[in-house]
Amino acid sequence: MAQESHIDPNNLPQHIAVIMDGNGRWAKNHNKVRVFGHQNGVQAVREISEGAAELQIPYLTLFAFSKENWNRPAFEVNTLMKLFVKTMDKELSTLNKNNIRLNAIGDVTSLPKETYKALLKGMQATSHNDGMVLTLALNYSSRWEILSAIKKYGTMVKNGEIKPELIDEEFFNGLLETSDMPDPDLLIRTSGECRVSNYLLWQLSYSELYFTDVLWPDFNKSHLHEAIRTYQNRERRFGLTGEQLINS
């Protein structure tokens, strides 16, 4: 709470996107196999979801599995898929207790059947909640999302549902997986890597980027608060000059 008191409640990010990185290195540092890092990453997911909900952040979006992650060793992929099932089942009551609605973006219908089923069950069981929306990006990659949107658009043009010259940002937004949420104000990436890795490329256009060396399993509420305080000290200009912002 002492940490939270330094957070300005009137300048909270409305949407925080997170790249949860560093599980494998965390496991290595503990002389364990990679999946041990993912298993311990679940605690950080719980902690950050709870911390964001406490601050009444409306949207939290976690990059849980990318399209490129299928190329990892089969054992790691299978363990991750089982971990998603187990976690979604286990955390349902906590999500409901915190009034959190579970949501997903990505090519989720191509997930293994059990993972997809657990996801649908979690989304249905929390659909009545009107607090924070916790979105898992699962089997997601931004280029896949943008290409899918273009394919939808092409079909609409072909069927005469839209004139090609009428496309604008708002319309394109509506074709994306994130059509029902605002763009992220803040992107957090753990583990010291400074890149966006095919995550929300369109939506991050004006997001503040925050990189920390902390490995994901170690990331806790006070780290989240630190990221939000840093965000609150940034000047967001959206293409304007600093002087224009002062005079507005």
Q: Is 69 a catalytic residue?
A: yes
Single out the segment in contact with ligand FPP by CB under 6 A; choices: 15-23, 107-115, 117-125, 154-162: 15-23
User: 59: which 2 tokens?
Assistant: 């949207």
Distances (CA, A) of 28 to 38, 109, 129, 245: 12, 33, 38, 47
Among 20, 48, 102, 224, binds ligand FPP (CB under 6 A): 20
| Residue 179 DSSP symbol | T
First to last CA, the chain: 34
Contacts of 130 (CB under 8 A, 6+ apart): 99, 101
3-state class (DSSP) for residue 191: coil
Asked if residue 62 binds ligand FPP (CB under 6 A), the reply is yes
8 vs 68, which CB is nearer to ligand FPP?
68
Which positions from 184 to 213 touch ligand FPP by CB under 6 A, shown as an x/- string? Answer: -------x----------------------
User: Which uninterrupted H or E stretch holds 188?
Assistant: strand 186-189
Asked if residue 132 binds ligand FPP (CB under 6 A), the reply is no
Instruction: Give the number of residues in contact with ligand FPP, rule: CB under 6 A.
Output: 19
Among 7, 25, 107, 131, binds ligand FPP (CB under 6 A): 25
Q: Is 21 a catalytic residue?
A: yes
| Residue 182 DSSP symbol | P
User: 176: which 2 tokens?
Assistant: 């994306």
3-state class (DSSP) for residue 102: strand
Residues tagged active-site: 21, 69
Residue ranges in contact with ligand FPP by CB under 6 A: 20-25, 38, 41-42, 45, 62, 64, 69, 83-84, 87, 136, 191, 216
